[in-house]
Chain A
Amino acid sequence: MPDLTRILLGSVFGCYLLAVLLYLLALGRTGPATGRAALVLVSGGFLLQSACLAQRWWSAGYLPVTNLFATQFFFSWALAATFLYFELRYRIKAAGLFVILLNLLLLGSALPRDPKIPPLIPSLDTPLFTLHIGFSFFGYAFFAMAFSLGVLFLIQQRRPTPLLPPLAELRRLNEEAIFLGFCLFSFCMLWGSLWAYLAWGFYFSWNIKAFWSFIVWLFYAGMCHAKFVRRWQGTGYAWLSIAGFGVVLFTYLGIGLLMASNHPLD
């Protein structure tokens, strides 16, 4: 089975890589066919990746997100889903390029790792874990999309280009990504807190990873309101989206790399 997984993974990576190249090409020559071909490739890659995830889930008997390979794989899948959600809904094209690039980076760095699924230890053997992790990566994926839209808002503002959606549209999409991401991340926090209460006897932990997750949540809660304040709309919101994703990256990667934590997934 690992061979099948490797073949599937290689094909998924190939699809996303080609899609990125085509999107970049479409940036140069605005041919609609190139963009459409890129979308077909992302969709194909996503379907294959979904099949791979389903097969791994089925054979493990639980959502396999218990080691670095598996979390990178799942995060990459959530990013692709988020990209497709925006692309199919709004045809954002280049506006989602960063998300697909990030996806490629994640999947690329996961490929050399061992895809073997470790046996599930009892502390992770609960549906609360699946809900907690699933929602956390979807929240992160929407925050990544908001980051991408924020960066492109600033680019469009400084060097207007017909290749990107108009400013008003970018602003609206950015606000949408933040709101949806916040809702999904709230689910992650709520299920995680319930899990912590049943596993540790308290629902709010000061351990560095859990605490930074709270910081991420509070930051985006503030952002959900900042869009109602005229001064923060548009440019300010774009910068906040960029800063917010920095906080997300630190929580997901930085803490693991720089600091020791006793979070169950470190």
Chain B
Amino acid sequence: MNALPPPPLRTRLWALCTSLKAAIVLASLATLLAMGGSLVIHFNPQLFGDLDQRTLGSWLAANLPGHPFRAGWLVLLTVLMVLLAGNTLCCFFDWLFRLRARWRKLGEYLLHLGFLLIVTGYLWGSVAGDRSSGNQLREGETVPLSGKPGWYLRLDRFEAVPGPGGRPVDMRSSVTLLHGDQPEKSATIRINHPLLWEDLVILPESFGRSPSGFRFLAAGGRSIDLGPGTVARIARGVELQVLDFYPDSVVDGAGRTLRRGETLVDPALRLALVKADGTRWTGWYRLRTGVPAELAGLGLDLQPREPLFQTFTVLTINRDPGARLALSGAAAMLLGTTLALVSFYRKRRLGDRPSIT
């Protein structure tokens, strides 16, 4: 008997790439690896604690060199998912060549295409995106967006929404996205309602309060609020300007006043007195030390009464260039799964199954 010649290498390679068994092996290996890996994550919180706060790419870049054994499984899992996606791509093409004969499997094609797009989108976002949490903004403040030169985010208004018990349950931040000084998009973001713009997603994280100035009692029982930017016209054509406010200050050996922290401990205001003749004095009023002689000399006995606070919002600003691709993948998968589901019984009645391996 003449033995058949083995098929050419190209054919065998393609058979491997489109092999259903390969898909099962890859999915099984990925499942087992992920199970083991989840335990590694669980028992190493100090290493993996910020895994969700960073893209996979940047997390691996930061942690793989120092922890090759504990972090290495993530690389392996990524490789397995890439191989599975490659396998799916080959199967997808293999089917496409025969699409006309297999239109009934449209649902399955879309489902597989969806998976492919989601994996590609995820990898793209992991490499080219970035995540930034803990961005504090006060009303009127603008911050540059990392990874998007020339783009800024401004907080226009912030409001903590109280629940029935009075405790805040939601955070509304009205923000404007600026390209240069040109507003591109404004939105009020709150929980589950982020600002989506191109590859950006901006969402509320938390909020807080920080000391922003002080209320003083002036002569005649009048109260006056002073914080950075305040300008007050005071006695005999003299203008008082507040240049800066430190909630906690310290004086160094050279006599300079420095900012020590953000908690109210030893507050200080940097003031300027501008007289009508143009002469100017600037100096610090450290509230625990007493009114500076320059103010007292003008009869300005500013006695501190209470601190003033300003609320700030804390935002997460993530950039994920692959998110749209992943979203189209999700749509394809949703549609594909629905079609596969509703056509299941009809296909089964027709005995429509792939040939058994």
Contacts and interface: CB of A to CB of B under 8 A. Distances in A.
B164 A119 contact: yes
Nearest to B45: A260
B21 interface: yes
Contacts of B51: 206
B231 interface: no
B287 interface: no
B357 A229 contact: yes
B312 to A, nearest CB: 19
Interface string A231-266: 000000000000000000000000000010000000
Interface residues on A, range: 35 or more
Contact of A194 (B163, B330, B348, B353): B330
B38 A200 contact: no
Contacts of B353: 228
A187 B334 contact: yes
B52 interface: yes
B337 A201 contact: no
A161 interface: no
Main SS at interface, chain A:
helix
Interface string A116-143: 0001011101101000000000000000
A35 B245 CA distance: 81
B131 interface: yes
A211 B356 contact: no
A214 interface: yes
A260 to B, nearest CB: 9
A201 B190 CA distance: 13
Interface in A174-200: 176, 179-180, 183, 186-187, 190, 193-195, 197-200
A226 interface: yes
28 contacts: A119-B164, A121-B169, A122-B161, A122-B170, A125-B192, A183-B337, A190-B330, A190-B334, A194-B327, A194-B330, A198-B192, A199-B192, A201-B131, A201-B316, A201-B318, A202-B52, A202-B131, A202-B318, A203-B326, A205-B52, A207-B52, A215-B35, A218-B31, A219-B27, A222-B23, A225-B20, A225-B23, A228-B354
Interface of A: 119, 121-123, 125-126, 128, 176, 179-180, 183, 186-187, 190, 193-195, 197-208, 211-212, 214-215, 218-219, 221-222, 225-226, 228-230, 259
